[in-house]
Amino acid sequence: MTRAPLVALLAVLLALAVVPGIPPFWITLANNIGLAALVTLGLVLLTGVGGMTSFGQAAFVGIGAYTTAVLTTVYGLSPWASLPLVLLVTGFVAALLGLMTVRLPGFYLPLGTIAWGISLYFLFGKLDLLGRYDGIGGIPPLSIAGVSLASPQAMYVVIWLMVLAAFVATGNLLSSRTGRAIRALRGGGSAAESFGVDRARTKLTVFIYAGLLAGLSGWLYAHLQRSVNPTPFGLGIGIEYLFMAVLGGAGHIWGALVGAGAIVLLKDLLQRVTPMLVGADLQMEAVVFGAIIVIMLQTARDGLWPRLVALYTGGHHRQLAVPQADSPLPPRPAVAPGLTRRLLEVEAASKNFGGLMAVKQVSFGVSAGEIVVLIGPNGAGKSTTFNLITGVLGLSSGKVSFDGHVLADASPRQAAALGMARTFQHVKLVPDMTVLENVALGAHRRARAGTLRSLLRLDRAEEARILADAARQIDRVGLTEHLSKPAGSLALGQQRLVEIARALALDPRLILLDEPAAGLRHFEKQALAELLSKLRAEGLSVLLVEHDMGFVMGLADRIVVLNFGTLIAKGTPAEIRTHPAVIEAYLGGTE
């Protein structure tokens, strides 16, 4: 993002630390904001970026706080020595809970988080080891080289250093290979799956990461307060954390800071103002929070942060330089010379949907360096055939093999690994990622950097190669001038080209296009046809599903025609054009 707000934030933080005469109460508020921002940062990643909602993050804070409380008071560990154990325990619990829910439809996770949020809260209050509802006191303060960090002012420095480190690391993560996979989860992530992203594993990674940030916040909290009890880890607080993310803007990491700041300050204000207005402690802040969240959801679902950014930048986005790299990504090994068999072989493929045969005994093949087009009227079974080849659907019977490998049932990731790259009939790009990042997602399988390397920014050399390759693919489809725009801001024709560039970034042997000409203008279709001819000339194989006969006639080497799930004709465009069965299928019977 833009640098100026960050500089302003640092200035305020520094001022609070060094300007004499700052009321201690301000420091306390700043500490609370920092602790909440850590938890909310995890939630932003989970909810806004990854599309998962949790009301149970307060429980992870509790696990972190209680773990260090027990380790330091019962077992006499030093606070610093307990930190890795705190992260281990919260990470382990998060992994357990995550394994149970990440495969489920969206609403099971939040319901599950409510259930274990309550369970863990009750557990904190019932266990003798954790001091039941009285909690644990006498937790030692942090110290560095014998100097105690017991004062709120000293803790302020520790907390905010950690908050800033967490924000920087999370920013690194999001602009990395793993980060692109996370950001592609929203909207289902089936496109990401087709480029080799393991959806369930990526979700689990985010879930554990969010749990770790909450655990870290709990560790800081325990050594700030020097005592713990169940109250701040209840479901109500977990709900508050989620509201911070929603209010700040769950789609962007700085939204976490804005949301945490806004809610902590507002809560403090309301708690001081309401008794003056109504003369009693009525907890009216909960009503105000509830109303604010509902109004936000009704009128500004993206939260405050995008609005603040728009105010500051006037809605313009930064132009990125075209990325360069010293060395290219390793290319896919060439096909063994003298290969005579076809690249893709579909043999008697059938698909049965609950008694309805959508595809019946369809056989055809695609050789290296040719364009094959699958056509047929609406409902002919083209998309089903396409999904059988790309591993989105499993075969009922028959066989699909690619480059000599038989495809296992329903595995888009295997199809990607073998070198099949696809586009989607309904464009599936991540609209708020740039064109460059969307295309880079296509190269996911060609790189290796994991979460840890991304967090620590050790992935930069490889990342530069990925981005340089993505830029090259964008150039191949002629979109270099749109490289740094959000993909969602492009016209449909351009978005289809971005999908083709993303497919090319996989370094495929075969590229499968699902109705790429639908909704394109005449000149766009011509450009697309030229691009596909060019790719064929470079040795790539292309399989198209298409409706538009005019578009395919001049382009295809061979055409395969389906109707009612069966193959009715195969041949060159000239043969197909005069084929009586094809004419009848397209113009209708003579009834």
Partner 1 sequence: MTASPIPAASASAAPASAPAALLAVNAMSVNHGPVPAVVDVSIDVAPGEIVTVIGANGAGKSSLLNAIMGITPGSGEVTFAGTPIRRHPVEARARLGLALVPEKRELFSTMSVIDNLTLGGWTATPAERKRTLEEVLDRFPRLRERRTQMAKTMSGGERQMLAMGRALMSRPKLLMLDEPSLGLAPRIVGEIFRIIADLRASGVSILLVEQNAKAALNAADRAYVMELGAVILQGPAADLAADPRVAGIYLGV
Partner 2 sequence: MDATILLFLVQDGLTNGAIYALLGFALVLLFTVTRTIFIPQGDFVAYGALTYALLRAGHLPGTVKLLAVFGATALAVELWSRRRDLTPGFIATQCATKLGVPLAIWAVVAVLGAAPRPVLLDLALTIAIVGPMGPYLYRIVFQPLGGATVLTLFIAAVAVHIALIALGLAFFGPEGQRAPALIATSLKLGPVVVSGQSLAVYATTILLTAALSAFFALTLRGKALHASAVNALGARLVGIDTHVSAKIAFALAATIGAVSGVLIVPMTTIYYDSGFVIGLKGFVAAIFGGLGSFIITGIAAFSVGIVEALASFFASSFKEIIVFSLIIPVLLVRSARSHHGDDEDH
Which residues here bind partner 1, judged by CB under 8 A? 356, 377-379, 489-492, 515, 518-519, 521-522, 547-553, 564, 577, 583, 586-591
Task: Answer yes or no whether residue 27 interacts with partner 2 by CB under 8 A.
Answer: no
Q: Which residues contact 320 (CB under 8 A, 6 or more apart)?
A: 434, 436, 483, 484
Q: Which is nearer to partner 1, 570 or 586 (CB)?
A: 586
User: What is the rounded CA–CA span in Å between residue 517 and residue 513?
Assistant: 9
| Count of helices and strands (H, E) across the chain | 23, 12
User: What is the rounded CA–CA span in Å between residue 26 and residue 483?
Assistant: 44
Q: Which option in partner 1, partner 2, none does residue 219 bind, with CB closer than 5 to 8 A by kind? A: none
Task: Answer yes or no whether residue 340 interacts with partner 2 by CB under 8 A.
Answer: no
Task: Answer yes or no whether residue 248 interacts with partner 2 by CB under 8 A.
Answer: no
Provide the mask over 367-406, with x wherever binding to partner 2 is found by CB under 8 A and - wherever it is not.
----------------------------------------
Q: Which is nearer to partner 1, 348 or 491 (CB)?
A: 491
Task: Answer yes or no whether residue 523 interacts with partner 2 by CB under 8 A.
Answer: no
Q: Which is nearer to partner 2, 155 or 192 (CB)?
A: 192
Q: Which option in partner 1, partner 2, none does residue 456 bind, with CB closer than 5 to 8 A by kind? A: none
> Residue 384 has which token pair?
């089903």
Task: Answer yes or no whether residue 251 interacts with partner 2 by CB under 8 A.
Answer: no
Q: Residue 286: count other Cβ atoms within 10 Å of its Cβ.
A: 14
> Residue 59 has which token pair?
């429980």
Q: Which residues contact 260 (CB under 8 A, 6 or more apart)?
A: 33, 36, 37, 39, 40, 244, 248
Of 94, 14, 108, which is closest to residue 52 (Cα–Cα)?
108
Range 132-162 burial, b when 16+ CB lie within 10 A, else e: eeebbeebbebeeeeeebeebebbbebbbeb
Q: Which option in partner 2, partner 1, none does residue 51 bind, with CB closer than 5 to 8 A by kind? A: partner 2
Q: Which option in partner 2, partner 1, none does residue 119 bind, with CB closer than 5 to 8 A by kind? A: partner 2
Task: Answer yes or no whether residue 271 interacts with partner 2 by CB under 8 A.
Answer: no
Task: Answer yes or no whether residue 53 interacts with partner 2 by CB under 8 A.
Answer: yes
Name all contacts of 579-587 with Cβ < 8 Å and 24+ positions apart.
585/376, 585/377, 585/380, 585/561, 586/377, 586/549
Beta carbon of residue 178, minimum distance to partner 1 (angstroms, whole number): 29
Beta carbon of residue 353, minimum distance to partner 1 (angstroms, whole number): 11
Q: Read out DSSP for 481-510?
A: GGTTSBGGGS-HHHHHHHHHHHHHTT--SE
Task: Answer yes or no whether residue 273 interacts with partner 2 by CB under 8 A.
Answer: no
8 A C-beta contact, residue 381 and residue 359: yes
Q: Which amino acid is at 401?
A: S
Residues 437, 439, 445, CA angle at the centre, nearest 5°? Answer: 100
> Residue 486 has which token pair?
């959000």
Beta carbon of residue 481, minimum distance to partner 1 (angstroms, whole number): 17
Q: Which is nearer to partner 2, 25 or 108 (CB)?
A: 108
The residue assigned the tokens 């380790």 is: 71
Beta carbon of residue 380, minimum distance to partner 1 (angstroms, whole number): 9
Q: 510-514 and 420-422: which strand pairing?
A: parallel
Which helix (H) or strand (E) element contains residue 199? helix 199-225
- For the segment 170-229, give every residue that binds partner 2 (CB under 8 A): 187-188, 190, 199-200
Which one among 55, 160, 207, 254 touches partner 2, defined by CB under 8 A?
55
Beta carbon of residue 544, minimum distance to partner 1 (angstroms, whole number): 14
Candidate ranges 72-80, 294-302, 461-469, 578-586; the one touching partner 2 (CB under 8 A)? 294-302
Q: 147-148 and 143-144: which strand pairing?
A: antiparallel
Task: Answer yes or no whether residue 243 interacts with partner 2 by CB under 8 A.
Answer: yes
Q: Which is nearer to partner 2, 403 or 499 (CB)?
A: 499
Which helix (H) or strand (E) element contains residue 393? none
Task: Answer yes or no whether residue 577 interacts with partner 2 by CB under 8 A.
Answer: no
Candidate ranges 73-81, 103-111, 468-476, 526-534; the one touching partner 2 (CB under 8 A)? 103-111
User: What is the rounded CA–CA span in Å between residue 575 and residue 565?
Assistant: 21
> Residue 183 has which token pair?
């950001």
Report helix, strand or coil for 343. coil
Task: Answer yes or no whether residue 115 interacts with partner 2 by CB under 8 A.
Answer: yes
Which one among 37, 246, 380, 559 touches partner 2, defined by CB under 8 A?
246
Q: Which option in partner 2, partner 1, none does residue 589 bind, with CB closer than 5 to 8 A by kind? A: partner 1
Beta carbon of residue 428, minimum distance to partner 2 (angstroms, whole number): 9
8 A C-beta contact, residue 48 and residue 301: no
By CB under 8 A, name the binding residues for partner 2: 51, 53, 55, 99-108, 110-112, 114-116, 118-119, 122-123, 126, 187-188, 190, 199-200, 236, 239, 242-243, 246, 282-287, 289-291, 293-294, 297-298, 301, 410
